Amino acid sequence: MAKKPKSSDKKKGGSGASGSGTIQGGSGNDWLLGGSGDDIIDGGSGNDWISGGSGNDTIDGGSGNDWISGGSGNDDISGGSGNDVISGGSGNDDISGGSGNDVISGGSGSDDIRGGPGHDWISGGSDNDLISGGSGNDVISGGSGNDAITGGDGNDWISGGGGNDGISGGSGNDHISGGSGEDWITGGSGNDHINGDGGNDRIDGGAGNDQIDGGSGYDIIFGGSGNDGIDGGSGGDDLYGGDGNDHLNGGDGYDIIYGGSGNDKINGGASGDDLYGGDGNDQINGGDGYDIIYGGAGNDKINGGADIDDIYGGDGNDHINGGAGYDIIYGDAGNDKINGGLDGDDLYGGAGNDHINGGAGNDRIRGGSGDDKISGGTGDDRIGGGTGDDRISGGAGDDKIRGGQGDDQISGDGGNDKIKGGAGDDIITGGFGDDVLKGGADDDIVIGGVGDDTVLGGTGDDILFGDTGWSSGSGSGHGSHGSKGSGSGSGHGSHGSHGSHGSGSGSGHGWNGSGSGSGHGSHGSDGSGSGSGHHSKGSGSGSGHGSHGSDG
């Protein structure tokens, strides 16, 4: 049982300055009442029960497990050593829990609360409080008001509560909730769990592998060093992964996300987003909405997702899929694999040996420098191989293809295609459909394929084949093997047009067609032939070696 106070301890503080008292508790378990004045109360040793009453009191619980109430007024309270329970009451109080596992409530007023060493439970109460948990695993609630909270050392649980709070977890693995209001939160070192909750929050996870959720509102979040998981939550957010292999999800709203260095996984979520992978081998998904995506350096995997996207692979060997919607994709430097996906896309391989597939829709494709493999897919595509030895397949649809510089292999596939080989020794096949094929510069092989094709050799020693269907062929160099068509050529034109039921002319050896010109003539079937050379099943005229004409 507590000792009764002696002499001046009986004053209870009185009223006003003249009524202030000094109360000394002694070494036992004391009950000390301050009264209505500005009291100085020392509990001493023992487990004391102390009430400051009204007035601006100075209270020291001393050693022991004390229960202290400051009452009304601006009180200065120290729990001392031991596991204390302290209530500041009304007024702007200065409270120090001291060593031990303390339970502290600031009450109403703007309080300055320090938990001290030990595992403390601290509630700031109403108004704007300054709270420091100190060392130990503390549980801190700022309450209503704009609070400044520091968890200190240890694994702390911190809630800012209402108001615009500034929260620092300090070292340790902390759980931090900003509460309603626009909060500034720093996790500090350690593996922290942070939730911004409502309001426009600014969050820095600090060092360690942190899990951060911005909650509702426009949030700015920095993961800091470590492998962090960051979710922007609802609202438009700015997310920065920092160093480490981070997982970043924009959530709802227009988000700007930077993965930073490391191998990051980024998901833009709903709405249009700006996504930057940064250094490292990143995996990026644009999600819904119009996204702008930069893979950055490293071998990235990028999916544009639904809707219209602009995608830049950056340096490295990237895998890029445009997804649904009209996409503009740049592979940039590196050996990239690009798929336009659904709808018509603009695809640019850039430097490197790229694999490009236009997918569905009417696509525009540029291979860029390097030896590229390009497939237009379905739709009416426009394809340019660029520099390098490219392999190009137009796919279904009426395609326009230019091989560009280099020794290219080009196939129009299905549809009525227009193909030009460009510079280099190209092999061009029209495939199915009524195609217009031109070899371009250098020595080309041009094959019309099935359909009524127009085959043009261009400059160089070309070999032209009409294949089946009506074909007309012309060009310098080796003439065309044309079926049901006519072919002409100048220069060293051996193998002139196979022109059954047609006429052909060319210098050099012409087979199975009517031919005219100088040198060795053509073998013409069921037609007429003129020129020097050999003619079979046709009438021949000319100088030099006479024609063998029959059935003509």
User: What is the domain extent for residue 318?
Assistant: 292-379
Closest CA to 290 of 305, 278, 277, 302: 305
Contact yes or no for 367/356 (Cβ under 8 A): yes
Q: Is 7 helix (H, G, I), strand (E, B) or coil?
A: helix
Closest CA to 393 of 380, 411, 418, 406: 411
Contact yes or no for 310/322 (Cβ under 8 A): no
Residue 414 lies in a domain: no
Residue 401 lies in a domain: no
For the chain, the distance separating the N- and C-terminal CA atoms, rounded to the nearest angstrom, is 140
374 shares its domain with 492: no
Distance, in Å, from the CA atom of 403 to the CA atom of 387, rounded to the nearest integer, reads 8
Distance, in Å, from the CA atom of 44 to the CA atom of 391, rounded to the nearest integer, reads 91
Residue 158 lies in a domain: no
H or E element that contains 366: strand 364-366
- What is 73-126 written as a DSSP string? S--EEE--SS--EEE--SS--EEE--SS--EEE--SS--EEE--SS--EEE--S
Residue 13 lies in a domain: yes
How confident is the model at residue 527, as a pLDDT? 33
- The total of structural domains in the chain comes to 3
374 shares its domain with 493: no
**Structural domain ending residue among the three candidates 136, 166, 192:** 136
Contact yes or no for 321/342 (Cβ under 8 A): no
**Structural domain ending residue among the three candidates 379, 397, 423:** 379
**Both structure tokens of 92:** 């702007």
Contact yes or no for 506/493 (Cβ under 8 A): yes
Closest CA to 259 of 270, 271, 274, 248: 248
Question: Tens-digit pLDDT profile for the chain (552 aa)?
Answer: 334 444 334 334 444 434 578 999 999 999 999 998 999 999 999 999 999 999 999 999 999 999 999 999 999 999 999 999 999 999 999 999 999 999 999 999 999 999 999 999 999 999 999 999 999 999 999 999 999 999 999 999 999 999 999 999 999 999 999 999 999 999 999 999 999 999 999 999 999 999 999 999 999 999 999 999 999 999 999 999 999 999 999 999 999 999 999 999 999 998 999 999 999 999 999 999 999 999 999 999 999 999 999 999 999 999 999 999 999 999 999 999 999 998 999 999 999 999 999 999 999 999 999 999 999 999 999 999 999 999 999 999 999 999 999 999 999 999 999 999 999 999 999 999 999 999 999 999 999 999 999 999 988 999 999 876 544 444 443 433 433 333 333 333 333 333 333 333 333 333 233 333 333 333 333 333 333 333 333 333 333 333 333 232
How confident is the model at residue 19, as a pLDDT? 53
Residue 132 lies in a domain: yes
**Structural domain ending residue among the three candidates 90, 119, 136:** 136
Residue 431 lies in a domain: no
Distance, in Å, from the CA atom of 408 to the CA atom of 425, rounded to the nearest integer, reads 7
Residue 18's CB: how many other CB atoms inside 10 A? 7
How confident is the model at residue 466, as a pLDDT? 83
**Both structure tokens of 451:** 């359909």
Residue 307 lies in a domain: yes
Instruction: List strand residue ranges (DSSP E) for 430-494, in order.
Output: 436-438, 445-447, 453-456, 463-467, 471-474, 480-482, 486-489
How confident is the model at residue 21, as a pLDDT? 85
Distance of CA 350 to the CA centre of its chain: 20
Distance, in Å, from the CA atom of 409 to the CA atom of 411, rounded to the nearest integer, reads 7
Residue 504 lies in a domain: yes
